[in-house]
Structure 1
């Protein structure tokens, strides 16, 4: 009986190769399996060097995207500290979206999970850094996300009116976000974007509402009680009148453009998307 010759080792599955390549490129520590065991080299350029070129270029692109998503946090921390944290986030939470705008999603949660004082209550400066990241992410979501500029829902009308057959009911604008932070990070953010010298960040709880009007992000500080009511209503059915908000609050929220009119069955209808992001360094308005 003829002896069977052993063939070449089976090639790794595509999924395993993709996983190795992603880790090799993104991880600050590099791959566990040597590149020479996976990639082919050439006489003039070994596998490790070939991987290094691609790894450096790809990671720089990710860091550029993170800098663009969190410019104020990067300015506060400095490039070296920010990039170390950003790479840790990208490694721990690799984005599965083809859109780099989603690369920074969850960055604030990553910072909270890897804070330097995990066994003790967070120091004020740690909370401020995390809250600044949360604010920048919310700002980007409001700026880039769906709004009301291109629809007919920008006219708030009478927010307290009941729904009528063929009529409309008040709905929250799709760009509305609520946020509670431990310092006035919104004012720090605006000053840095405008190229101004920001006031030092000191602990002071702020209850914020972010929205957008005519492609301009607005940020409003609310009293704690009203902010809590708004956040609760926003997390409800989407119809603040049905969720029990009183007429005074509905009128106030409507005047600020936080409510739009929609047909009773249109809560889940897609709304117009925002136009592509532009660098509008004076595009934030604050009111109290």
Structure 2
């Protein structure tokens, strides 16, 4: 009795399992030809699939690829494809776990790799972040001066802070500008603010005091509370002025969505 051929849906499911999961169940349905075997024919599709995903990873992390070099990056991307099967209909999101991979052996010995990847990933996330109102000085002026002490500031949804230990930002910036990148070195803790300014993802380094104040503002600390913290951090006589200057910079850069009481 001749076996009933699989339906198109069954064939697609088995073929997908062969490509994505490495199953060989579909081999019996692939006829060999005079030049090669069905296993070789299936291997062509498997290799093409892996190659396409490697290119997706490369396109998501172009500066990381330049820093690592083609061979090393390709090996890393192939490892990623093997460990992180695609679960996304949109290829744009497939490479999101690359920083996680780079936090493990054998890559952990080069911590700048993970940080460059984090920066590239966060810039993409900033680009894709939801639209939101942007508060400017004119909008802030709508609040009576006597209420400013109680005002808290809601960050734009694209804003995020990255904490780095290496000079990954300097490496990334040099590569982006097509300049010779510095050697990777450990610098100690420092922070970068990533956000979307108008329609363009942006990044800048935060000084220690601004990092502390931005982090507290993002958690809902009001202006008066920020001034108190600045007074403990440095000169108390200029604390309120320093917070006002930081706030002016945040407003000018489009980092604040609204002020709330």
Relative to the length of structure 1, the TM-score reads: 0.67
**Matches of residues 180-195 of structure 1 in structure 2 within 5 Å?**
180-195=163-178
Contact 1:159 1:254 (C-alpha < 8 Å) held by counterparts: no
**Matches of residues 114-153 of structure 1 in structure 2 within 5 Å?**
115-116=105-106, 123=109, 126-147=110-131, 152-153=133-134
Aligned length: 234
In 2, the alpha carbon distance for the partners of 1:261 and 1:107 equals 33
Aligned pair 1:21/2:19, yes or no?
yes
Cα deviation digits, residues 64-118 of structure 1 (max 9, x gap): 11111111111111222212211222222223222221111111111213x128x
In 1, the alpha carbon distance for the partners of 2:153 and 2:111 equals 35
Pair 160,199 (structure 1): closer, same or farther in 2 beyond 3 Å: farther
Deviation at 1:179, TM superposition (A): 0.3
Contact 1:73 1:129 (C-alpha < 8 Å) held by counterparts: yes
In 1, the alpha carbon distance for the partners of 2:136 and 2:30 equals 62
Cα deviation digits, residues 203-261 of structure 1 (max 9, x gap): 11331001122322322211234324433543x4xx55399544725444323321023
Contact 1:95 1:102 (C-alpha < 8 Å) held by counterparts: no
Cα deviation digits, residues 162-208 of structure 1 (max 9, x gap): 9x9xxx97421111110011222222212212222222222113310
**Matches of residues 212-223 of structure 1 in structure 2 within 5 Å?**
212-223=196-207
Which residue, out of 41, 65, 69, partners 2:31?
A: 41
Structure 1 residue runs without a partner (length 5+): 25-30, 265-288
In 2, the alpha carbon distance for the partners of 1:97 and 1:133 equals 19
Pair 191,143 (structure 1): closer, same or farther in 2 beyond 3 Å: farther
**Matches of residues 257-272 of structure 1 in structure 2 within 5 Å?**
257-261=254-258
Pair 9,153 (structure 1): closer, same or farther in 2 beyond 3 Å: same
Helix, strand or coil: the match of 1:82? helix
Contact 1:131 1:185 (C-alpha < 8 Å) held by counterparts: yes
Question: More deviation in 13-22 or 213-222?
Answer: 13-22
Structure 2 residue runs without a partner (length 5+): 228-239
**Matches of residues 150-169 of structure 1 in structure 2 within 5 Å?**
152-153=133-134, 155=136, 157-158=139-140, 161=143
Deviation at 1:54, TM superposition (A): 1.6
Helix, strand or coil: the match of 2:102? helix
Question: More deviation in 61-70 or 15-24?
Answer: 15-24
Question: More deviation in 217-226 or 103-112?
Answer: 217-226
In 1, the alpha carbon distance for the partners of 2:224 and 2:101 equals 33
In 2, the alpha carbon distance for the partners of 1:112 and 1:250 equals 34
Contact 2:216 2:226 (C-alpha < 8 Å) held by counterparts: no
The root-mean-square deviation of aligned C-alpha atoms, in Å, is 3.6
Which residue, out of 101, 114, 117, partners 1:110?
A: 101
